[in-house]
A and B are shown apart, each in its own frame.
Chain A
Amino acid sequence: MSIATGLETLVDQTISVITNDGRNIVGVLKGFDQATNIILDESHERVYSTKEGVQQLVLGLYIIRGDNISVVGELDEELDAHLDLSSLRAHPLKPVIH
């Protein structure tokens, strides 16, 4: 197997998860397994809409089942901190259709 295929490099880092139903959850990766089930700490959901800026809903400690995960992105915390989420508008992501 090739180098660092899993999510081990992202453990204890802030990540942004896009789920199959199009939700975006941001939190600190605490653990994962071979099915991409993940444990997120201090997580919050970012709700996108065209009418108002991005809303952040606090979720806390979350476990997401791997089946429901589309993308896991490493978040550049410094850049992310400078984001003006209140002025960011976008259509919510479409759900994954298999």
Chain B
Amino acid sequence: MLFFSYFKDLVGKEVTVELKNDLAIRGTLHSVDQYLNIKLENTRVVDQDKYPHMVIKLSSTSTLQVGYLGVQIVLIICSKLFGISFLTLVLVLHQANFPGVKLVRLGMSRTYVELSVRNCFIRGSVVRYVQLPPEGVDVDLLHDATRREARGG
């Protein structure tokens, strides 16, 4: 019961849970139960490139600076499809010398990552390690508690 109550005290802290399949998930500890099943919130996978299984959404964003009637607007385009069609529209207007439309600058595209799994439940039996925040570890307190438990309560 010692570790159960210890983990209960850690609720709300940021932890990294390493699983027995080498997957490491970082998130805020939401709750823990008697089997040491762990619920994490706002999760992210530590090595996301290697493990997109928690489902990553990759989208490229481009910035587009457009001048219209002397006013410059910076647009951030997220969706690939929308971005391309909009860019074509601007280019066509630009090519056609449509009054006032001017393509000022097309920014480099960036990729950003979103995880479609934000909260997860991890079965206690597959946890290899839980990496704790240093401020969540009170060595003296644990020391006493383990001794007390070993003595039989």
Contact = CB atoms under 8 A, between A and B. Distances in A.
Interface of A: 1-7, 10, 16, 18, 20, 22, 24, 36, 46, 48, 66-67, 69-76, 79-80, 82-83, 88, 90-91, 93-98
29 contacts: A2-B31, A3-B31, A4-B39, A7-B121, A16-B54, A24-B53, A36-B37, A46-B53, A69-B126, A70-B122, A71-B19, A71-B23, A71-B120, A72-B120, A73-B119, A74-B120, A76-B118, A79-B55, A79-B57, A79-B114, A80-B55, A82-B57, A83-B116, A88-B56, A90-B52, A91-B50, A94-B22, A96-B126, A97-B20
Nearest to B22: A94
Q: Give 3 closest A-B pairs by Cβ, nearest first.
A: A73-B117, A79-B116, A73-B120
A96 B119 contact: no
A82 B43 CA distance: 19
B21 A4 contact: no
A96 B20 contact: yes
Nearest to B33: A5
Given A73-B120, A79-B114, A5 B39 contact: yes
Interface of B: 8, 11, 19-23, 25, 31-34, 37, 39, 43, 50-57, 114, 116-123, 125-126
Nearest to A79: B116
A60 B146 CA distance: 48
B57 A75 contact: no
Contacts of A3: 31
B102 to A, nearest CB: 32
A66 to B, nearest CB: 7
